[in-house]
Structures are given as C-alpha cells and as structure tokens.
C-alpha cells in the first residue's frame, strides 16, 4: 500500500511540478524513489512535525499541492493544531500521509500505536479522512486527494496487504465500495470496515459465510465525508450492522456510522468492533494485537456470530 | 503617508477599537505600532486594490493578539474602509481579536502562538523554488519565542537558506504574566545567532533604524534575517508603558480613555487628523489606583495584575 502510494505520487508529481512531499525525516527506503525521481519536489523538514505542517501550509498558500509524510501519530496528533489552524481553516491543499494506522508498529509500543487519529482528524471541519483498505483503494485515493482542493488525511497500513477490493476502478471521495453482496440466507448481516483491517474483515466474512450467515460487506475508504447512502440502504435491509476498525471505538469509523444511523430512526442494531477504549501495553505484532483486541478474522467472526 | 503618521494613526485607532470593544492587548498593539507602520509605509510591496497580487511581499502577524494594529494599518493603507475598524470584536464583524484572513489584505490567520514563522518559511521556500522575487515577513512576539515550534522553524529556515525570509521580534520584554526574563530567561540575540540567522538588533521605536534594518536583508550566504526590535509594551501612553495590566486591560470610559487620547495628541504628526476626537478629550485627572479593580470583559473579573519588576 505504501509503495503503491509513492509510485502514484511520482506519477502525480511528474504531471504537476507544483506537487511536493514534505517528510518528517521518515520513509527510509520508501520515499527514496520519489526523492530520486523528483528531488526538487521533495523536502526533508527534519524531526519537527509542527514546523513541517506549518511549512506545508505556507507552500500550499503559494499554490502548491503538498503531501506531508510521517508514521503513526507524528504527522497528526503531534501537530494537530497546525493542521487545524494553518491547513484546514485556510482550506489548503495539504494532505497528511501517515503510514502505520492502528497496530502496524505494534511491537514498538504504545507511542507508535495510531489508534485515535481518525477521531481527531474527523473532528476538523472540511478535512477529508481516507483510510484505504488495500493498495487498489490507496492508489486511487492519493490521486483523488491531490485533486481535492482542501485538507486531507490519508491513513495507510504498511505494505503487503492482500488485494481485496477487486471491483474498484474509480475512486470517489465519500463513496463506500461493495465487496460482496449478502446471499439470501435466513441469517444475514452487513459488515463495514475502514482501512487495512479490510483483509481481516474479508476473511471473517468468509468464515461467516461458511457458517451459513449471509454477509454484505463494504469497504469504506472514506470516513469523512461518510457514505450515508450505503449506510441508509443497509439500515433498511439488515437487522444488524457491524463496523470494524483498527482504531479506538470512541470517535472513529464506528462512531461516524453511528451518527448516521442514529438520525435515521430505524431499528437496525449497530455493533462497533475496534479497540474498546484502552491503551495496549502488551507487546506484539500487528496480527497478535489485532487478535488481542478482537479484530482478527477469527475474533470478528466470533463477535458477529455471538451477536446475532 | 509616512511611517510616523501611520504609526500615530495605528495607535489612535487601536485606543479607540479597544475602548469601544473592551478588547485586550492594547499594550502589545502599542509596542508593535512602529514596526507595523514602517512595514506598511516603507517596506512591504503590496497593492490594496489587488490584495492577492502575486508579486506582493507576504506578511504574517504571528503574534495574532496584536491584530488591531494590523487591521488599522490595512485600513489606513486602503484595503478596506476605516469606519469598519469600529466593528472590532463586535457581533457579526470580520475583525476578530486575533488576526483573521476574512479581512482584505490578510492572507493568513493567527492567534495560537508559534505558527507564523513556519508558514512564512514555507512561503519563502516556495518562492525560492518557483524563482519568485517576493520576501516573506513574520512579526513574532518575544513571549511567543517560548514556543518550541518557533525554533523548529528557525532551524529549518537556516538549513534551507531562506534569504528571502525576514522575522521581526517585537521585543517588549514582557509576556502575559511577567517579564520575559522572569518567565524563561534567555539571551534573545544569541539564541537567533545560534540558529544561524543574520541578526540585527535595534530600537523598535526608531523608525529610521527599522527601515534601515528591513530595507535590504540580502546577504551572501542567503541566511534568513531576524530583526530584534527592542520595544516598550504600551509605548506612547505613559501610564500603559511597561505595565502588565495593559496586556489585558482596555482603556475604560473616563480618565483612562481621555488621558490616553490626550497623550497621543501631544505628539500628533503634521498632516494627521484624529478621526475620532479631532480636538482631543476633556481633561480628567488620572486615578491609576482605581483602574486596578476592573479589567477587560474578556478576562475573569477577579483577574488582578501583579506588579512585577524585571530581575
């Protein structure tokens, strides 16, 4: 996902000499192809995210399309006020790329767990929040963000994610994508996910189908603006909707879906799967921590089965 | 209009604006008035009829709490009607207490300290990449220099040799609760020198010195330039000078307003007419002890300014 995005940025940068990447001294091995291909459009601002984001705002004020780049919480929470006051308020085309959404850097410890970023960025007026589920979504999303005039957030996994969204050929900001329609079975549910947890979610849906449960699965690469149409449609056709996110359940994707459902006045029940509002101090790989907090494929399938 | 006239008008407008609105920060506005006047009368390239003119110099008032001074300068320079200044802080106005880019001539909003220099540096870098000739200016407060992000920007600007970036520190030696050196002791000049900047240290109320320091900041190494402008908080109104109270307090009806206006009238430059009280105000005997019990409506009524001395 990471490398796909950088390749796409090289194409975009060649098309538009006003496109810039500003990194906070991260992206070893990842950003190198861009740096080599477009050295005049690449800035390493050092380990100083507040300045980096302010500089990006200044460059965007002068007409540039800027992508800031770092990992985990560094390009978001460390400089949230610069994103708010300098970028979002001025409606500047600054797009924040964070590699390592969720538990990508699980073993590195809590500082590197990006688990509240969606909530923070989603709260900022006018900021587009995109969490691609796989490389196919990411490739199209980065182009959409470059062309979108305002401030955006692109939350990436790390790389090596399975290609799940096979139907996607175009990307519209704010659109959810159908991964599989529900088979007409006595028991059926809708499952929504955002971000790289798509792969686990898809495997969970396989397990559920094998157990005779019909699953309609959607990937929501855009958390903000959220696809109200798909949510409304599913709320009318299903008794149970599940959201899956590698993020705290407070304020994130599940909350965004809950906000829509609560205003529909329908009886559908929403189940939010994610991190149950705690910090994880146990050391582990991404797969280990996903399982620990209940969002591995097995645990997702268990939760869905138990709930219906 | 020359910078002396503009500086006087900025002070007069701001006394009126804070008086009418109960707005804070008259002390900071008066300290930065000469800097703003020299910038807008003598230094910055701009066109009030085309605020977005690409050839303009870029300006950010990073100490956004002194916004009234910027609004007054812009109105006097023709960016918008001077009568609008009276709407400062009022319901429905675009003249917020801290600088707003809703105002013609302002293209970057500030208010949270430590943001402006980074943005100015980003603009300077963009200009350098695109081979544009404009300079990028930012005015910072001395207290603002407590913010770590200022030094992130300082390091960045030196590394990228942003010779087209100019910072001006309004060094009035006071911040919100105390003198700067009583808050976090620092050697302002050495700090900037340590970050590799071209440093010019001057009297920030000496408009000739300001002009000389700002007119040409080119240097062979393309270092960014900082002008450390020593100023006096509350400059121009004797009872506001070097008194922390006037960081927050506004000139109330009665002796505070009348004495402030009359003091300004004592130094009115030729060719300038006071737009509010052309003949000054009736004389009222100052009662400085009585002003210590009511403060700006933007602060808690029990707020009481501690009298401080620089250690």
What is the CATH number for A214? 3.40.50.920
CB-nearest partner of A62 from B112, B127, B148: B127
Q: Are residues A11 and A151 in the same domain?
A: yes
* Residue at A169 is within a domain: no
A contacts of B160 (beta carbons < 8 Å): 43
Tell whether A16 and A95 lie within a shared domain. Answer: yes
Would A163 be classed as within a structural domain? no
Which residue of chain A is at minimal alpha-carbon distance from B59? A58
Residue B230 C-alpha from the chain's centroid: 12
Segments forming the whole domain that contains residue A204: 177-307
Beta bridge pairs of residue A241: A190, A270
Interface predicted TM-score of the whole assembly (ipTM), two decimals = 0.94
Question: Each residue's pLDDT tens digit in chain A (308 positions)?
Answer: 999 999 999 999 999 999 999 999 999 889 999 999 999 999 999 999 999 999 999 999 999 999 999 999 999 999 999 999 999 999 999 999 999 999 999 999 999 999 999 999 999 999 999 999 999 999 999 999 999 999 999 999 988 889 999 889 999 999 999 999 999 999 999 999 999 999 999 999 999 999 999 999 999 999 999 999 999 999 999 999 999 999 999 999 999 999 999 999 999 999 999 999 999 999 999 999 999 999 999 999 999 999 99
Q: What pLDDT shows up at residue B307?
A: 57
pLDDT band for position B290 (50/70/90)? low
Number of domains in chain A: 2
Q: Is residue A17 within 8 angstroms of chain B, CB to CB?
A: no
Please check whether residues A117 and A20 belong to one and the same domain.
yes
Q: In this structure, are A150 and A182 located in the same domain?
A: no
Q: Which residues neighbour B50 within 8 Å (Cβ) at sequence distance 6 or greater?
A: none
Q: Do A234 and A119 reside in the same domain of the chain?
A: no
User: What whole-number distance in Å separates Cα of residue B101 and Cα of residue A139?
Assistant: 34
Tell me whether residue A170 is in a domain. no
Helix intervals (H) in chain A = 2-15, 32-37, 49-61, 80-81, 117-122, 135-147, 198-210, 228-237, 253-262, 286-293, 297-307
pLDDT band, residue B287 (cuts 50/70/90): confident
SS3 for A80? helix
Assign B292 a pLDDT band (cuts: 50, 70, 90). low
Q: Is residue A171 part of a domain?
A: no
Same domain for A143 and A15, yes or no, is: yes
What domains are defined for chain B? 28-230 (3.40.50.970)
| Structural domain includes residue A168 | no
Domain check: are A254 and A187 in the same one? yes
Domain end (from A101, A127, A156): A156
Residues A208 and A272 occupy one common structural domain: yes
CB-facing half-sphere around the CA of A238: CA atoms within 13 A: 30
Of A126, A156, A186, the residue at which a domain comes to its end is A156
Chain B residues 137-156 with a CB less than 8 Å from chain A? 148-149, 152-153, 155-156
pTM (2 d.p.)? 0.95
Q: How far apart are CA B19 and CA A71, in angstroms?
A: 49
Task: Tokens for A300, please give them.
Answer: 């997702």
CATH number at residue A126: 3.40.50.970
Residues of B in contact with A56 (CB under 8 A): 122
Q: Is residue A172 part of a domain?
A: no
From A156, A187, A202, give the residue that closes a domain.
A156
Enumerate the residues of chain B whose CB falls inside 8 A of the CB of residue A86: 108, 115, 118-119
Residue A59 included in any domain: yes
Q: How many C-beta neighbours within 10 Å does residue A193 have?
A: 33
Residues of A in contact with B122 (CB under 8 A): 54-62
Q: How near does any CA of chain A get to the CA of B153, in Å?
A: 6
Whether residues A150 and A250 fall in one domain: no
Same domain for A136 and A39, yes or no, is yes
pLDDT band at residue B247 using 50, 70 and 90 as cut-offs: confident
If asked whether residues A184 and A151 sit together in one domain, one would say no
From CA B311, how far away is CA B307, in angstroms rounded?
13
- A149 with A15, same domain: the answer is yes
Distance, in angstroms, between A195 CA and closest chain B CA? 31
Pick B153's closest partner by Cβ from A54, A89, A90: A54
């Amino acid at each position: 996902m990471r490398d796909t995005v950088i390749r796409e940025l090289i194409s975009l940068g060649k098309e538009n000499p006003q496109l810039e990447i500003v990194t906070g001294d991260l992206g070893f091995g990842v950003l190198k192809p861009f740096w080599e291909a477009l050295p005049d459009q690449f800035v390493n601002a050092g380990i100083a995210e507040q300045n980096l984001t302010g500089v990006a705002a200044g460059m965007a004020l002068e007409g540039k399309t800027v992508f800031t780049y770092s990992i985990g919480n560094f390009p978001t929470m460390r400089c949230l006020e610069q994103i708010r006051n300098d970028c979002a308020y001025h409606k500047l085309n600054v797009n924040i790329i964070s590699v390592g959404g969720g538990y990508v850097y699980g073993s590195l410890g809590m500082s590197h767990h990006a688990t509240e970023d969606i909530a923070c960025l989603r709260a900022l007026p006018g900021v587009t929040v995109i969490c691609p589920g796989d490389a196919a979504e990411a490739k199209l999303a980065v182009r959409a963000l470059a062309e979108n005039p305002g401030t955006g957030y692109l939350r990436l996994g790390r790389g090596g994610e399975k290609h799940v969204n096979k139907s996607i050929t175009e990307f519209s900001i704010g659109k959810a994508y159908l991964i599989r329609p529900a088979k007409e079975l006595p028991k059926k549910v809708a499952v929504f996910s955002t971000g790289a947890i798509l792969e686990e979610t898809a495997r969970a849906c396989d397990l559920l189908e094998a157990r005779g449960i019909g699953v309609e699965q959607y990937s929501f690469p855009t958390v903000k603006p959220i696809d109200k149409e798909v949510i409304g449609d599913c709320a009318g056709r299903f008794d149970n909707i599940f959201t899956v996110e590698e993020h705290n359940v407070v304020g994130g994707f599940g909350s965004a879906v809950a906000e829509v459902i609560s205003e529909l006045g329908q009886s559908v029940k929403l189940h939010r799967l994610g991190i149950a509002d705690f910090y994880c101090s146990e050391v582990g790989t991404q797969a280990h921590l996903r399982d620990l907090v209940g969002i591995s494929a097995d645990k997702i399938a268990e939760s869905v089965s138990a709930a219906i | 209009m020359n910078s002396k006239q503009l500086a006087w008008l900025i002070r007069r407008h701001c006394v009126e604006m804070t008086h009418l609105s109960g707005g804070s920060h008259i002390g900071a506005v008066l300290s930065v008035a000469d800097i703003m006047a020299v910038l807008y009368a003598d230094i910055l390239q701009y066109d009030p009829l085309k605020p977005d003119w690409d050839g303009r110099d870029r300006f950010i008032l990073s100490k956004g709490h002194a916004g009234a001074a910027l609004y007054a300068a812009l109105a006097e320079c023709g960016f918008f009607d001077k009568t609008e200044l009276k709407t400062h802080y009022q319901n429905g106005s675009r003249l917020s207490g801290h600088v707003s880019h809703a105002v013609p001539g302002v293209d970057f909003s500030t208010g949270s300290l430590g943001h402006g220099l980074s943005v100015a540096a980003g603009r300077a870098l963009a200009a350098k990449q695109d081979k544009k000739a404009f300079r990028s200016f930012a005015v910072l407060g001395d207290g603002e220099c407590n913010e770590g992000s200022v030094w992130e920007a300082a390091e960045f600007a030196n590394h990228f040799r942003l010779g087209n970036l100019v910072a001006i520190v309004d060094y009035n030696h006071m911040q919100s609760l105390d003198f700067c050196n009583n808050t976090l002791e620092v050697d302002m000049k050495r700090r900037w020198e340590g970050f590799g900047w071209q440093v010019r240290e001057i009297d920030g109320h000496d408009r000739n010195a300001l002009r000389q320091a700002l007119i040409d900041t080119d240097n062979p190494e393309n270092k960014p330039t900082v002008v450390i402008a020593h100023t006096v908080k509350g400059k121009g109104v004797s009872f506001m000078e070097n008194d922390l109270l006037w960081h927050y307090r506004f000139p109330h009806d009665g002796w505070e307003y009348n004495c402030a206006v009359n003091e300004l009238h004592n130094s009115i430059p030729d060719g300038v007419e006071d737009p509010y009280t052309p003949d000054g105000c009736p004389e009222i005997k100052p009662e400085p002890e009585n002003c210590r019990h009511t403060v700006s409506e933007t602060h808690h009524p029990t707020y009481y300014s501690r009298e401080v001395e620089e250690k």
